[in-house]
A = this chain, B = another copy of it.
Amino acid sequence: MKEFKVGIVGFGTVGAGVAANLLNNQEVIARRTGIKPVLAGIADLDIVRDRGVKVPPELLTTDAAALIAKVDVVVELVGGTTFARKLIRSALEQGKTVVTANKALLAEYGEELFAVAEKSGADIHYEASVAGGIPIIKALREGLVANRINRIYGIMNGTCNYILTRMEREGADFEPILKDAQKLGYAEANPSLDIDGFDTAHKTAILASLAYGEWFGLKPIHIEGISQVEQSDIQFASELGYRIKLLAVIKQENGAVQVRVHPTLVPKNSMIGSIMDVFNGVMVDGDFVGQTLFYGRGAGRSATASAVAADIVDACLDLNCGSVRRVPAFRRGPQFTKLTPIEEIESRYYLRLEVLDRPGVVGRIASVIGAHDISIASFMQHESRTNGKVPVVILTHLACEGKVRQALAEISQLDVVTGPVKFFRIEDI
């Protein structure tokens, strides 16, 4: 059976998982595919620390360049966008197939790396860069290849979904849950990449690019994180049959593409609304296939290793058949037209404001909303609080975001409105 040498650069959590996979499941892979990917080495600055996986010591090295030179497939699991970028460029220039999980690098420097790969006839595989163990990139590029993509919705950050799930279950506020999540290892010490939506945006950029044939990068993505989601929003949403999720929204409407990441009300009883805890899910709506959903663990050592290993196998199969670049890393296409700025999108909205509990207040707010061509779908006002202020929650029908923002700016100026007006978008999936 033909063997292929695999070198891992970066012996962190995922690197250890991939090593464990190649060591433990090599015979399963060989049985299924007829080829054998062999772990030929792992490069890291620290080759002493125990990673909980038994790697023969002679496979460990601090010399990444030497490892790259002697293997068939280079697995970049260093992370970051400086050394990893150089390393991948160098590997590609040597004609090596590269496998990476580096979403930030791809979102930012994807086009550069794809060009290097094309020039040298090598290829880059990046299944693990989006939604961990879920084979969503293979689904988009191969399984659903015959579809025009109408919409993609994604819950793609486990930390955010975990926090939102606990806020709902425990009725607690964002800050204490975040702190506890940090203690438990579900959130980083510096949680910004996750909770401010950037990690989701990196993945969103990759999915949108594959769907519409233009490498978007982060720039066109409207990004909002979850720190603005309060316990009362979660409760109001729930009363109205919704759940708040940090959602990636990729849509083609009226010949233009929208790409955005923000807290979003989704129906509680929808499939995407049922994704809880650290799980991820991506809904793809294609013109032929209709609605599909791909669900699983979006992070973690073993789940991510599953995706990296699948890429390694794909790479080895291509090397085995002489079919490298059979499905190249990225192919630009003519389908994409233009991007819709966030002010021009049409959406339904959840509005929450606090007003003085006086007669006529609701009417004044409704008038401002109506004056901006926005139609109200439902209006909810609970009993007065002791301080004479009441929260009001309004769901709108489809409306232009620019008009909604204008209306909210006017409403927040009303003397009966006692605090900032909050809004989240709704997707009735």
Whole-angstrom distance between the alpha carbons of A142 and B279 in the complex?
Answer: 21
- Measured CB to CB, the nearest residue on chain B to A324 is B321
User: CB-CB contacts of A312-324 with B at 8 A, as 1s and 0s?
Assistant: 1110011011110
Find chain B residues with CB under 8 A from A213 CB.
31-32
B residues in contact with A297, CB < 8 Å? 289-292
CB atoms of A296 and B292 under 8 A apart: yes
Residue count of chain A within 8 Å CB distance of chain B: 66
Which B residues are in CB contact (< 8 Å) with A135? 138-139, 142-144
CA distance A147 to B307 in the complex (A): 10
| A377, CB-defined interface residue at 8 Å | no
By the criterion CB–CB under 8 Å, are A309 and B146 in contact?
yes
CA distance A307 to B287 in the complex (A): 12
Chain B proximity of A101: nearest CB distance (Å): 14
Cβ of A134 under 8 Å from chain B: yes
Dominant SS among interface residues on chain A: mixed
Closest chain B residue, CB of each to CB of A137: B143
Tell me whether A21 is interfacial, beta carbon within 8 Å: yes
Q: Does A81 contact B (CB under 8 A)?
A: no
B31 touches A335 (CB 8 A): yes
A291 to B147, CA, bound (A): 26
Q: A83 to B241: give the CA distance in the assembly, Å.
A: 52
In the complex, how many angstroms separate the beta carbon of A319 from the nearest chain B beta carbon? Answer: 11
Nearest 7 pairs between A and B by C-beta? Answer: A135-B143, A146-B309, A31-B333, A321-B323, A292-B296, A323-B323, A289-B306
Asked if A133 and B295 make an inter-chain contact with CB atoms under 8 angstroms apart, the answer reads no
Whole-angstrom CA separation of A135 from B289 in the bound complex: 10
- Interface residue ranges of A334-378 to B (CB < 8 Å): 334-335
